[in-house]
């Protein structure tokens, strides 16, 4: 069983979700991105979580525009976004059409390619949060 240790970033991420159309949580594998996101989503209503390592969740994004439209008004969390990074332009068009904050929470590896793709497609629409391990002083006990 996983034990969740609250992080200083949890509240920062909640605030960014209120301020920006998209927020990304980036970091190396197994650093706690998914666990942190699930804990944040538990405290919110109207959320959708897709794990893009699961084929059934990837299938839901075969027509990403239709999926995003169907889930309008919900915070859509896309875990392992680097697996379907080609949807960034669709996300941009949805963000521009909706004009609201708190539309997407995306999780992925902090690869230079992913950062470039998301920054180019979602410039001015996304806030990046780095979840690299920082040591024990980083955790709130």
Q: What is the CATH number of the domain that holds 64?
A: 3.40.50.300
Band (pLDDT 50/70/90 cuts) for residue 141 is very low
Sign of CA dihedral 95, 98, 101, 103: negative
- The answer as to whether 140 is a domain residue is no
Question: Does residue 137 form part of some domain?
Answer: no
pLDDT tens for each residue of 36-55: 899 999 989 999 999 999 99
Q: Is residue 127 assigned to a domain?
A: yes
Beginning with the edge strand found earlier in the chain, give each strand of the sheet holding 126-130 in spatial order. 47-51, 75-79, 104-108, 22-26, 126-130
**Which pTM value belongs to this model?**
0.85
Cα–Cα distance for residue pair 124/56, rounded to 1 Å: 31
Asked if the structure places residue 35 within a domain, the reply is yes
3-state SS, residue 22 = strand
pLDDT band at 132 (very low <50, low <70, confident <90, very high): confident
| Domain-located, residue 2 | no
Task: Band the pLDDT of 140: cuts 50, 70, 90.
Answer: very low
1 located within any domain: no
pLDDT tens digit sequence for 53-78: 999 999 999 999 999 999 999 999 99
Question: In the predicted model, what is the mean pLDDT of the chain?
Answer: 85
Query: Tens digit of pLDDT for each residue in 73-121?
Result: 999 999 999 888 889 999 999 999 988 999 999 998 866 666 677 777 8
Q: Give the domain extent around 59.
A: 8-132
Residue 124 lies in a domain: yes
How far is CA 25 from each of CA 7, 17, 59, 141, rounded to the nearest angstrom? 13, 11, 23, 21
Q: Is residue 32 part of a domain?
A: yes
Number of domains, the chain? 1
Q: Evaluate whether 110 touches 84 at the Cβ level (below 8 Å).
A: no
């Amino acid at each position: 069983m996983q034990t969740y240790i609250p992080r200083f970033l949890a509240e920062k991420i909640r605030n960014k979700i209120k301020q920006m159309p998209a927020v990304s949580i980036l970091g190396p594998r197994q650093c706690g991105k998914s666990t942190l996101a699930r804990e944040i989503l538990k405290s919110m209503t109207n959320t959708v979580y897709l794990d893009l390592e699961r084929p059934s969740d990837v299938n839901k994004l075969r027509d990403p525009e239709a999926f995003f439209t169907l889930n309008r008004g919900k915070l859509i969390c896309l875990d392992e976004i680097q697996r379907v990074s080609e949807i960034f332009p669709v996300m941009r068009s949805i963000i521009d059409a909706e004009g609201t904050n708190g539309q997407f929470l995306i999780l992925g590896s902090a690869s230079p390619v992913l950062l470039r793709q998301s920054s180019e497609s979602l410039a001015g629409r996304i806030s990046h949060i780095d979840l690299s391990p920082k040591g024990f002083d980083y955790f709130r006990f």
